[in-house]
Amino acid sequence: MRILPLLAVCAGLAVSSVQAGPRPMPAESKDAFIARLMAQMTLDEKIGQLRLISIGPDMTHEQINKEIAAGRIGGTFNSVTRGENRPMQDAAVKHSRLGIPMFFAYDVVHGHRTVFPISLAQASSWDMQAIALAARTSAIEASADSLDMTFAPMVDISRDPRWGRTSEGFGEDPYLVSEIAKVTVRALQGSSPAAPDSLMASVKHFALYGAVEGGRDYNIVDMSPMRMYQDYLPPYRAAIDAGAGGVMVALNTVNGIPASANTWLMQDLLRKDWGFKGVAVSDHGAIEELTRHGVAKDGREAARLAIKAGIDMSMADTLYLKELPGLVKSGDVPMGDIDNAVREVLGAKYDMGLFDDPYRRIGAAKDDPPDVNAESRLHRAAARDVARRSQVLLENRDGTLPLKKGGTIALVGPLADSRVDMMGSWSAAGVPEQSVTLLEGLRDALGDRGKVVYARGANVTDDQAIVDYLNFLNWDKPEVEQDPRPAGDMIAEAVEAARRADVVVAAVGESRGMSHESSSRTSLFIPGSQRELLKALKTTGKPLVIVLMNGRPLDLNWERANADALLETWYAGTEAGHAIADVLFGDYNPSGKLPISFPRSVGQIPTYYNHLRLGRPFTPGKPGNYTSQYFEEKTDPLYPFGYGLSYTSFSVSGITLSAPSMPRGGRIQASVTVKNTGPRDGETVVQLYIRDVAASVVRPVKELKGFRKVALKAGESRVIRFDVDEAMLKFFNAKLEYAAEPGDFDVQIGLDSEAVKSARFELL
Ligand code: BGC
């Protein structure tokens, strides 16, 4: 902390020679400081603090600065350089009456200038150090760009891959997503959200956004309280318990009431039960949408409902600004509601260190970097490492992979050389020109030891309506570029390349916009243009390696049956091409595991491993037996949760329990011996699941409760011990009390959610 001149200390709210704007006095508590500041504020100044604007075409910089100086804006998002943000901070601290600083937010979701793999990919690493590295690096880059807050982590549980935002989250499992939520919040916020190289985390989208009906974005959410508490709420809670300073409120309804007007959700659950003390921001335009939801007849009522529910800041609309003054005057909104919201906004600014120094992340103009896009070798190396760890090897017949460095590789597919798609959606301030495509990655890895022949082979889709749709998403410029050649000519060129090669590598999947906000699908196939390409390549008889680039589980039945190797790379970020090449050539032995089940078909959705037990569960081998199944296809997923191969193989021994029973409040140990039985060093993820044998409510078939990423040399074995304690056996009962019930439990340990060993113990 800086030593303040005596004059400023005494003046308190006065402008000092060193720093304009209010600041805490020595030994003054946060609450006392904010109360003192609020006592100086007019109603209009208070309401101004509740407005969060998007920097964009709607207002000129001059207009924005005027509004800020008039005390009518509390924070912004979508401006990402010190040069952009400094004049706004000047307007706030030097030209507004009280000099209250602004904060600057942005969607730093999976990287900032250096783009890391999308969140779903990071979750596939099951590597908490790698995930922390991605978040910490993002915070360092974004704070150096003058940003104070990020709208992340996005921890919406997703069990429906039709939903385009599946790519933005960490998958289907409450435990895994909660662990990642904690790690991410801690890494973003660092030692404290006040640190100059930290960002405040605003966890989103509170709540249940991932459960939109039919996977259609912005659709309603209707869910039983037990499922909500058990499966969907834990990750938000984990982020908050880890100290997230902010919460972004979801766009959807929660059991008939939009989250943005939901007093139960925002007050009773979030603030009273969970003790959240930070700032709650609406999602984009969500307060205005209350009229379209039909819970408010006009903007005035929408503003009243939102402030009453506890939405502290309104994002990207002017309803609070327009309506709250009148609502307070008429007595329809108590002044206390406004004060509560203002207290949270100022509290967040305090926590971000902005009252100590509003320029702590903006710095002085003389220190501005000459090139904001300058690349950091260290950060790129981190992105490459995280990207290698995030890939999941789904198939590898006859040791097709790793490829030899030599001979001729035919690289085909519309995603093989597409920089923009490597970035995934919400790639923040990343610059596509800086990303490495697979074509470049293969060439860099081979040097002069082999040859890559490239042919595009197909467009991502031939459906112009889809291309138009994707190009109208919120990108700056159209990004799906169609090759105008006839599809047949492109395929012929690719087949010709394949015939001349030793192996075919096909980079196929979805363009990044297909797995994005507002990009819900009814089919999970790789688009037809690419499927035709794959079929034609198959006829050449050359080994076919399919490299998938996509942001959701896909229907891969054909690919599974026809590919010699299948590698899920998601959208791997700035260093995508290098990282994928590392895996294809075996310079990195893949260790990723799926954080979400891959269904066999759209009709099978929802397909998630931790479903509740049934009275008539499907019993394999007994056709037509009135058990729960679809008669047209198998009941299990195509690839289960937790699944992923390696270039080596692992075995897991039976489970040894340290005791046959566990006293209340006690713990036992479950151990297995994991052995690397193959020819290479490698890593795998040992997963621990619990099954409650009988309880007062129906419990899931199994639930992940622990995991360990383990590196083993070829031939090496190691005993892996898990502590199992009572907390891991707890669940929400019919009264929504969180407790463990005595009785038998099965501990299951294995390398995916299906291939497990099991042992039973009793909770006394
Ligand atoms: C998204 C949020 C995002 C916000 C600001 C909204 O459309 O739903 O996730 O943080 O925009 O960019």
pLDDT tens readout for residues 329-355: 999 999 999 999 999 999 999 999 999
CA dihedral 359, 360, 364, 365 (to 10 degrees): -70
Residue 573: name the closest of 125, 149, 203 by CA: 125
Find out whether the beta carbon of 204 lies less than 6 Å from any atom of ligand 1. Answer: yes
Q: Which atom of ligand 1 approaches the CA of 151 most closely? A: 10
Separation of CA 284 and ligand 1 centre (Å) = 6
> So what's the pLDDT on residue 15?
39
Separation of CA 54 and ligand 1 centre (Å) = 10
Q: Residue 283 catalytic?
A: yes
Find out whether the beta carbon of 283 lies less than 6 Å from any atom of ligand 1. Answer: yes
Cα gap 726→665, rounded to integer Å: 6
Q: Which atom of ligand 1 approaches the CA of 316 most closely? A: 5
Q: Which ranges constitute the DSSP H helices of 294-390?
A: 299-309, 319-330, 335-351, 377-389
Q: Which residue has the tokens 């609020």?
A: 38
Q: Which atom of ligand 1 approaches the CA of 204 most closely? A: 9
Three-state SS for 690? strand
Cα gap 666→91, rounded to integer Å: 58
> So what's the pLDDT on residue 19?
64
* 246-249 and 279-281 strand pairing: parallel
Choosing from 151, 247, 249 the residue with most ligand 1 atoms within 8 A of its CB, the one to mutate for a pocket test is 151
Cα gap 638→394, rounded to integer Å: 10
Find out whether the beta carbon of 517 lies less than 6 Å from any atom of ligand 1. Answer: yes
* 743-750 and 756-763 strand pairing: antiparallel
Residue nearest to atom 8 of ligand 1 (CA): 283
Q: Count CA atoms within 13 Å of residue 284 on its CB side.
A: 9
- Residue count (the chain): 764
> So what's the pLDDT on residue 20?
73
Residue nearest to atom 6 of ligand 1 (CA): 284
Residue 212: name the closest of 672, 579, 519 by CA: 519
Residue ranges of the chain with pLDDT lower than 50? 1-17
Report yes or no: 684 and 723 within 8 Å, Cβ to Cβ. Answer: no
Separation of CA 155 and ligand 1 centre (Å) = 13
- Tell me, what DSSP letter sits at residue 79? -
Find out whether the beta carbon of 151 lies less than 6 Å from any atom of ligand 1. Answer: yes
Separation of CA 571 and ligand 1 centre (Å) = 20
Three-state SS for 602? helix
Separation of CA 250 and ligand 1 centre (Å) = 9
Separation of CA 283 and ligand 1 centre (Å) = 6
C-alpha 23 chain-centroid distance? 35
Choosing from 156, 517, 518, 519 the residue with most ligand 1 atoms within 8 A of its CB, the one to mutate for a pocket test is 517
What's the Cα-to-Cα distance from 556 to each of 35, 515, 546, 593, rounded to whole Å?
A: 59, 16, 11, 16
Residue 194: name the closest of 360, 22, 343 by CA: 360
Q: Which atom of ligand 1 approaches the CA of 205 most closely? A: 9
- Sign for the CA dihedral angle at 209, 214, 218, 223 comes to negative
Dmax over Cα atoms in the chain, in whole Å? 85
Of 107, 127, 156, 283, the catalytic one is 283
> So what's the pLDDT on residue 14?
38
Separation of CA 165 and ligand 1 centre (Å) = 11
Could you list the beta-strand ranges (E) of 400-500.
Answer: 408-412, 451-455
Torsion region of 228: left, alpha or beta (phi above 0 gives left; psi -120 to 50 gives alpha): alpha
Residue nearest to atom 11 of ligand 1 (CA): 284
Residue nearest to atom 2 of ligand 1 (CA): 283
Which residue type, as a one-letter code, is found at position 187?
Answer: A
